[in-house]
């Protein structure tokens, strides 16, 4: 089946289209979501097209979310973007929709939806949205290009990560040619708040690095709260350990209110997605997330990460 065409046919048929993304969004989640909304709004001005989810102050510079009444969902086509599994969909009203379509670039460990278009080789869901627009001759406005560009920049780590393909650069050039202020977007994504900067200093001070290059830091709930991060969160902290030349893999353990741990796993080479799947998680080969129920599981994951890293020659 030509899934892209099937998705486009559904979009043409439906009068109400509501676009979702994952909880705790990053620039790609918001960029692909809002970018697609703007493209479709321009192509189909007679339709009702919304982008929904919790408004994140730290991403307000990128886009604002729409407010949608419950009744609108009952006859809607639901598009869920950049979301690997059902529990992570922001705004659970998506289940009320008449039809659900999944569009994503993460490993498809949790297939859902009536239609699913997943491209694991794509740098980002934002890149996929540009490809979709190009295929069906949909105009990508300057406004849409700005948020899609932000999504690509965010998910490629400023084109640092291995998922940056030649095609990624072609798509990025197309977006820049619309006249967006790419420098301003780059600067916004590179900035961090003073509390996050101070937490970054804490990370470097407390990071443990093994002889093999496996690194980790455990952030207690009290420690995180003491930095008064507000809505900034700890997402911008994740790449920092990788800037150290001796680090090959790293894990950041963040204690939650129930004393379990959110785990962010990253790598410069060794595949860590298998480790993530062993601990209630998953993701890309070099960028994954997981959960640990307590400190004992944290210690087990640290030992496994050390073994995995040491075996990589």
List the CATH number of the domain containing 252: 3.10.310.30
C-alpha separations of 215 from 211, 259, 290, 310 in Å: 9, 22, 16, 12
Overall average pLDDT of the 259-276 stretch: 95
- If asked whether residues 33 and 102 sit together in one domain, one would say yes
| Rounded-to-integer distance, Cα 309 and Cα 214, Å | 6
For residues 301 and 240, the answer to whether their CB atoms sit within 8 Å is no
Q: What pLDDT does residue 232 have?
A: 56
Which residue is associated with the tokens 């922001």? 90
Overall average pLDDT of the 202-212 stretch: 97
| Rounded-to-integer distance, Cα 169 and Cα 76, Å | 34
- If asked whether residues 262 and 221 sit together in one domain, one would say yes
The tally of domains found in the chain comes to 2
Flag whether pLDDT at 313 surpasses 80. Answer: no
| Rounded-to-integer distance, Cα 306 and Cα 288, Å | 16
Overall average pLDDT of the 175-198 stretch: 94
- If asked whether residues 89 and 226 sit together in one domain, one would say no
Among 125, 109, 112, smallest CA distance to 276 is for 109
- If asked whether residues 181 and 294 sit together in one domain, one would say no
- If asked whether residues 139 and 201 sit together in one domain, one would say no
- If asked whether residues 199 and 137 sit together in one domain, one would say no
- Residues 215-262 have pLDDT tens digits of 999 999 999 999 988 655 788 889 999 999 999 999 999 999 999 999
pTM: 0.90
In terms of residue numbers, what domain contains 42? 3-190
Which residue is associated with the tokens 């030649």? 166
Last-in-domain residue among 160, 190, 220: 190
* pLDDT band, residue 162 (cuts 50/70/90): confident
Flag whether pLDDT at 7 surpasses 60. Answer: yes
- If asked whether residues 220 and 293 sit together in one domain, one would say yes
Helices (H) and strands (E) in the chain, counts: 10, 11
Last-in-domain residue among 153, 169, 190: 190
- The residues that bridge with 203 in the sheet, in sequence order, are none
Last-in-domain residue among 190, 216, 249: 190
- For 185, the token pair is 């977007």
Which residue is associated with the tokens 């097209």? 49
Share of the chain above pLDDT 70, in %: 99
């Amino acid at each position: 089946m030509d899934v892209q065409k099937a998705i486009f046919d559904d979009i043409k048929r439906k009068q109400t289209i509501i676009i979702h993304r994952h909880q705790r969004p990053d620039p790609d989640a918001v960029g692909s979501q809002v970018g697609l909304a703007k493209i479709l709004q321009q192509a189909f001005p007679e339709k009702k097209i919304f982008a929904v989810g919790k408004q994140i102050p730290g991403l307000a510079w990128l886009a604002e979310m729409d407010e949608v009444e419950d009744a609108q969902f009952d006859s809607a086509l639901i598009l869920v973007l950049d979301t690997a599994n059902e529990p992570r969909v922001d705004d659970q009203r998506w289940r009320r929709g008449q039809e659900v379509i999944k569009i994503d670039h993460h490993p498809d460990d949790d297939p859902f939806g009536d239609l699913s278009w997943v491209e694991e080789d794509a740098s980002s869901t934002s890149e996929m949205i540009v490809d979709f627009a190009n295929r069906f001759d949909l105009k990508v406005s300057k406004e849409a290009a700005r948020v899609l560009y932000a999504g690509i920049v965010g998910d490629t780590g400023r084109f640092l990560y291995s998922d940056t393909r030649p095609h990624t650069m072609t798509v990025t050039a197309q977006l820049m040619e619309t006249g967006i202020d790419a420098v301003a977007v780059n600067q916004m994504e590179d900035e961090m708040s003073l509390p996050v900067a101070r937490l970054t200093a804490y990370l470097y001070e407390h990071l443990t690095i093994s002889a093999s290059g496996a690194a980790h830091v455990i952030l207690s709930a009290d420690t995180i709260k003491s930095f008064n991060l507000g809505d900034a969160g700890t997402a911008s902290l994740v790449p920092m350990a990788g800037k150290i030349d001796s680090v090959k893999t790293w894990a950041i353990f963040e204690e939650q209110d129930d004393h379990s741990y959110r785990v962010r796993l990253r790598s410069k080479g060794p595949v860590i997605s298998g480790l993530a799947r062993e601990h209630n998680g998953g993701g890309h080969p070099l960028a994954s997330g997981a959960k640990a129920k307590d400190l004992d599981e944290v210690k087990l994951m640290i030992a496994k990460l050390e073994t995995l890293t040491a075996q990589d020659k």
